[in-house]
Chains A and B, each alone.
Chain A
């Protein structure tokens, strides 16, 4: 580990889950940027986050119905990604440290979060985008 200062280490929202439960919790953590029950989060950011997430989801659905152009969906996805950085910094301000199959987390700096969100959303976006393109719903 590259961290000398142990106070930088964090516990993820899902606590100490193991095995399959851990895998599910981890997947949930990647897909759900908002705070879990009993966690502090600022209402405004939560609310704005929800609103934009719903809008972005609608955009994907429209794209899947062939009603939205590729450029527009990229724009929506980018916009949502920017907000997700704020939502996560507020609600789940940590990123994984070390191997992905490990259980160690560290405090996320803004840059850590930008890197995390952009990488994760690039993967999710690419999967959806290529999926929609291959069924012919999206055109470039």
Chain B
């Protein structure tokens, strides 16, 4: 345990040593003062002036969610200049790392952004490779833009009133999250201060009814909903109880209201409401904390529950609270806390879906810092209560879906490409039979096409080079929190991974590595080019014995990264720079600092002289894929004679064939050279021998069967021995 603790301490130290001097190192996982999120004086702990140029003083935090007002002195008078907000006060949208990017945002009194500053982020992708300037440039795109505009990552579409922002290449997920953070934060504050007006929705008209449904009926038709927050979701240790177990519902609808409050209770409550006011009830049936909270003291505001309808949120003050003494509906559960809250915002309409939001704090176990976390549950009155049924509501696509729609053509083309190459490989028996050891074009035409597309389109253009960091991220998501959205937000990588997982089990890693990996393809292409331009005499393979030792290095690299990632994901991601992929495709060899460029260029340079040095000895992704390749379903063919014949082994650029003629599928790149030989009666020694024997004996050269032999001339039983001897 002691050593674990020491390791935990040592790794972050190593991490900071590694990133010292690199871009964005100063905001990467920095320790922010705890007062930043708790003190009323936000600007004592945050550089508010940086995001609100010209401001001379700032108010304390106010509002819900909180923000501060920025003033400047004008002739001794304080003039309101705008508002400054801390993103994590308002939203908990996580970025790629699963943690939020803590951002300070300034907005003037007309709702235009005046400044954006990142105080802390945990995005390894921004650490190395992508320069700080890129993020600053990205953030600067917001300056002067209006908070009420429809701003998204991607191309502008004036016909849809959509303003597009340029993404940071290679960090799309991060900037998509960042955009949501900017817009959500800006909107929340703009609505509170009246810059953005609430949407007016047509009010619901209820169908008259005298029914008084039971609790079970209310639950089954969705008139009562349940919002459960587990203890671990807020970073607490579970003692079997949930942190919060709330039931809630809408009371204005007469049959629901009567069922919950009883006839008199309902009538009494309705008589207290003016037109356009709505009541909801909440009961807590179990939990470790109060949903009303103690914060209610703070400005008379209930700061743990909120109602949100689309972009409008409704908070509750002490005057919006009414006691709920009991629930009349038969079969209602016992509760220990209850409330009726009145929604007074004019824009609320029960005809449309809304959400009850529980605003919690998540406590980070390691640092004991609190971060904002909110939980919600949707509520929408059943159509049977509404005159004319439910109105049509178009819900905006989730971000990942938007990305998929936007890149549909690219995704389609990529999928077709993968399928075509798979079909080609699945037809390998036909292709290798058409090839000879002197002319391998029937195979190579497909393979080289795959390489070129992989390098040009997948690698350099779409930047969809798979990486070990994705494997590490899965391990972590598996352990901590699996979020499909995270993986879906990069569609090509997502499609590629599904494809890789399937093909690794069907054929082995050789198909991806040998045919489709952008870096692997580039590496082998350079080797082939070297061969073609007369460098062949300088090309070499390591001796088999040395190779058989060095090939284990890549597994050590993989396990090393995996182990480090359990302690410190950031460090693991940095160490994953052992993959030159980011340098080669994402950032560009010429654009990175020299150690990275030298490393990538060195590996590629070496590839001209020896086949795929990186793949053979270093690649952690190759190693990670090689391990399940142990159980690939369909391998290559071998004949008995392969045990003593060394022809294929000599030609195997991957040095994957052992002295007994067995192929190590973990090392094999499925280049198919040995399969060409297998059927080539001028190259496969036992086959060539048989060809010569038959020619001499004047026997016909029959076609070669699937086992790599000429079809026996005489009926099988009598001839088998003879053929065996000849072979």
B627→A119 contact, CB < 8 A: yes
B232–A2 touching, CB < 8 Å: no
Please, how many angstroms separate the alpha-carbon atoms of A29 and B643 in the complex?
30
Contact A126 B634 (CB under 8 A): no
How far apart sit A119 and B631, CA to CA, in the bound complex (Å)?
10
A136 at the binding interface (Cβ < 8 Å): yes
**A25–chain B nearest beta-carbon distance, Å:** 18
The yes or no answer to B134 lying at the interface (CB within 8 A) is no
B384 at interface, CB cutoff 8 A: no
Q: Residue of B at shortest CB range from A3?
A: B662
Whether the pair B662, A4 counts as a contact (CB closer than 8 A) is: yes
Residues 225-241 of chain B: 1 if any A CB is under 8 Å from the residue's CB, otherwise 0?
00000111000011010
Bound-state Cα–Cα, A71 to B665, Å: 34
B638 touches A116 (CB 8 A): no
Which residue of B has the minimal Cβ distance to A99?
B633
Could you say which of B230, B240, B628, B663 contacts A2, with CB atoms under 8 Å apart?
B663
For residue A107, give the distance in angstroms from its CB to the closest CB of chain B. 10
Q: Which residue of A lies closest to B506 (CB)?
A: A99
* Alpha-carbon separation in the docked complex, A58 to B708 (Å): 54
- Give Cα distance in the complex from A98 to B663, angstroms: 13
**Interface status of A62 (Cβ within 8 A of chain B):** no
Closest A residue, CB atoms, query B238: A136
Q: Does B377 contact A (CB under 8 A)?
A: no
CB-defined contacts of A5 to chain B, threshold 8 Å: 643, 660-662
User: Which chain A residue shows the least CB distance to B482?
Assistant: A130
Q: Is B415 an interface residue (CB 8 A)?
A: no
Produce 1/0 per residue, B163-187, CB < 8 A to A: 0000000000000000000000000
**What CA separation (Å) do A111 and B665 show in the bound complex?**
12
Residues from chain A with Cβ under 8 Å of B662 in the complex: 2-5, 8
Q: Is the CB of A140 within 8 A of B480?
A: yes
| A99 with B634: CB separation less than 8 A | yes
Chain A proximity of B23: nearest CB distance (Å) = 31
Interface size on B, residues (CB 8 A): 32
A98 to chain B: closest residue by CB = B633
| Given A115-B628, A115-B631, A126-B478: 7 more A-B contacts, CB < 8 Å | A1-B638, A66-B238, A98-B634, A99-B633, A115-B627, A136-B232, A139-B237
> In the complex, what residues of A have CB within 8 A of residue B668's CB?
2
Closest B residue to A116 by beta carbon equals B630
A-B contact pairs, 28 of them (CB 8 A): A1-B635, A1-B637, A2-B635, A2-B636, A3-B662, A4-B639, A4-B643, A4-B661, A5-B643, A5-B660, A6-B640, A71-B566, A95-B630, A95-B631, A96-B631, A99-B633, A99-B634, A100-B631, A111-B630, A112-B630, A115-B627, A115-B628, A115-B631, A119-B628, A119-B631, A136-B231, A136-B238, A137-B238
Residues of chain A with a CB closer than 8 A to B634's CB? 98-99
Residues of B within 8 A of A (CB): 230-232, 237-238, 240, 478-480, 566, 627-628, 630-631, 633-643, 660-663, 665-666, 668
Residue of A4, A5, A115, A126 with most chain B CB atoms under a 10 A cut-off: A4
Q: How far is the CA of A2 from the CA of B634 in the complex (A)?
A: 9
In A20-56, the 8 Å CB interface with B consists of none
**Residues of B close to A8: CB separation below 8 A:** 660, 662
User: Which one of B479, B480, B630, B639 has the highest number of Cβ atoms from chain A below 10 Å of its Cβ?
Assistant: B630
Residues of A within 8 A of B628 (CB): 115, 119
B323 CB to closest chain A CB (Å) equals 32
In the bound assembly, the distance between CA atoms of A71 and B630 in angstroms comes to: 28
Chain A residues positioned under 8 Å from B636 (CB to CB): 2
Most buried by B among A99, A100, A139: A139
Question: How near does chain B come to A97, taking the closest CB pair, in angstroms?
Answer: 8
Q: How far is the CA of A98 from the CA of B508 in the complex (A)?
A: 11
**Of the residues B631, B635, B640, B665, contact of A116 by C-beta under 8 Å:** B631
